[in-house]
Amino acid sequence: LAKTTQPISMDSYEGQEVNITCSHNNIATNDYITWYQQFPSQGPRFIIQGYKTKVTNEVASLFIPADRKSSTLSLPRVSLSDTAVYYCLVGDNTNAGKSTFGDGTTLTVKP
């Protein structure tokens, strides 16, 4: 199983770009990297997913280096509403029971 490691917490200010890194040294060839956002008293929700290089959508970018041993979620110009816990998940849905969530990074955005 790919063990994932994330920073426990991060602070930022409104309007800044935030980068959260997840380490996954023993990622398998078939594994994808997926990031989820969770607000208090809610279930996590999908943000972005990638396999290699860079993926961008309307809310975030995901950078994955060639060795795929880490990944970085980039949130451009954060606002107070981005305060949440962010989880990386490494795995392959065809073997979903072997997917591994990180312990989550609590992002606090300050005014």
Partner 1 sequence: DVKVTQSSRYLVKRTGEKVFLECVQDMDHENMFWYRQDPGLGLRLIYFSYDVKMKEKGDIPEGYSVSREKKERFSLILESASTNQTSMYLCASSLPGGPGELFFGEGSRLTVL
Binding site for partner 1 (CB under 8 A): 32, 34, 36, 41-46, 49, 51, 87, 89, 91-94, 96-97, 99, 101-104
Going by C-alpha positions, the residue among 100, 103, 88 that lies closest to residue 22 is 88
CA distances from 106 to 4, 32, 52, 53, 93 (A): 15, 22, 25, 25, 26
Nearer to partner 1, 66 or 96 (CB): 96
Whichever of 25 and 30 has its CB closer to partner 1, that residue is 30
Shortest Å distance, C-beta 55 to partner 1: 11
Q: Which residue in 67, 30, 62, 65 sits closest to 49, CA to CA? A: 62
In whole angstroms, the minimum distance from the beta carbon of 77 to partner 1 comes to: 25
